[in-house]
Structure 1
Amino acid sequence: MTTATRASTATARPATAAPAARAPPTPTAARRCAATTGFARAASSCSNPGVSPRAILAALATFAVLTLWIADVRAATRVEVYSKSGCPHCAAGKDYLGELSRKYDLEIVDYDVVESGQARARLRALAAKAEVERLVVPSFVIRGQLVVGFDRGGQSAARIEALISGEAIDDSKVDLPLWGRVDTNQMGLPLFTIVVGFVDGFNPCAMWVLLFLLSILVNFHDRKKMAVVGGTFVVISGLAYFAFMAAWLNIFLIAGVSRPLQIGLGLVAVAVGGIHVKDFFAFGKGLSLSIPDAAKPGIYARVRRVMQAEKLSTAVGAVAVLAVVVNLIELVCTAGLPAVYTQVLVNNGVEGAGYYAYLALYILVYMLDDAAMLTIAIITLSKRKLQERGGRILKLVSGAVLLVLGLLLVFKPDWLLWG
Structure 2
Amino acid sequence: MKKIFFILGLALWLMLPVAAIASNDVIEFSAFTRDDCSHCVELKEFLETDFAERLPNVQPKYYDLADPDTYDFFTEFTGENDLPRATPTILIGDRILQGFESAETTGEYMIELASQLTESSYFEDYEAPTSNNDDDGLLIHLPWLGTIDFQDYSIPVLAIILGFVDGFNPCAMWVLVMFLVFLSQTGSRKKMLILAGIFIAAETIMYYLILNFWYTTWDFVKLDQIVTPIIGVVSIGAGAFFLWEFFRNKGDECKVTTSKHKDRITEKIKKMVNSPLSIGVFFSILGVAFSVNIIEFACSIGIPQAFTKVLELNYVNSLMRQVYILIYTLFYMIDDLIVFGIAIWSFKYLHLTTKYTRYCLLIGGIVMLLLGYFFVFDPSKLIF
Pair in the same fold by TM > 0.5: yes
CA positional deviation for 1:211:
2.0
Q: How does 1:306-385 map to 2 (within 5 A)?
A: 306-311=272-277, 313-352=279-318, 354-380=320-346, 382=348, 384-385=350-351
Residues 404-419 of structure 1: matches in 2 within 5 Å?
Answer: 404-418=370-384
Does residue 104 of the first structure (1) align with residue 44 of the second (2)? no
Q: Is the 8 A contact 2:243 2:361 kept in 1?
A: yes
**Aligned twin of 1:160:** 106
Deviation at 1:270, TM superposition (A): 0.6
Does 1:297 find its partner at 2:273? Answer: no
Determine the C-alpha separation between the residues in 2 that align with 1:353 and 1:387.
34
CA contact (8 A) 1:214 1:383 kept: no
CA distance in 1, matches of 2:240, 2:285: 33
Structure 1's unaligned 5+ residue stretches are: 1-71, 175-182
Q: Does residue 245 of the first structure (1) align with residue 217 of the second (2)?
A: no
In structure 2, the residue corresponding to 1:362 is in which secondary structure?
A: helix
AA aligned opposite 1:184 = D
- Partners of 2:150 and 2:366 in 1: CA distance: 27
Structure 2 gaps of 5+ residues are 1-22, 53-57, 113-127, 136-147
* Distance in 1 separating the partners of 2:211 and 2:97: 30
Does structure 1 retain, via aligned residues, the 8 Å contact 2:97–2:134?
Answer: no
- Give the Å deviation of 1:272: 1.2
Q: 1:34 matched to which residue of 2?
A: none
Q: TM-score, normalised by structure 2?
A: 0.71
- 1:406 positional shift: 1.2
* Mean CA deviation greater in 263-272 or 389-398: 389-398
CA contact (8 A) 2:342 2:350 kept: no
- Out of 224, 234, 238, which is 2:190 matched to? 224
Letter in 2 for 1:136: A
- Equivalent of residue 169 in structure 1, options 109, 115, 130: 130
Identity %: 25
Are the counterparts in 2 of residues 89 and 414 from structure 1 also a CA contact under 8 Å? yes
Residue 375 of structure 1: how far off its partner (Å): 2.5
1:93 Cα shift? 4.0
RMSD, matched Cα? 3.6
Distance 1:157 1:321 in 2: 57
In 1, Cα distance between the equivalents of 2:219 and 2:330?
23
Cα distance, 1:139 vs structure 2: 1.0
For the pair shown, which has the larger CA radius of gyration, 1 or 2?
A: 1
Is 1:115 the counterpart of 2:87? The answer is no
Change over 3 Å in CA distance of 1:277–1:118 after alignment to 2: closer
Q: For residues 293 and 343 of structure 2, what CA distance do their matches in structure 1 show?
A: 22
User: Could you say which residue in structure 2 is the equivalent of 1:184?
Assistant: 149
2:233 aligned with 1:263: no
Instruction: Report deviation, 1:98.
Output: 2.8
**Matches of 2:76 and 2:294 in 1, distance apart?**
43
Decide whether aligned partners of structure 1 residues 109 and 233 sit closer, same or farther in structure 2, where only a CA change above 3 A counts.
same
Question: How many Å separate the matches in 1 of 2:244 and 2:159?
Answer: 26
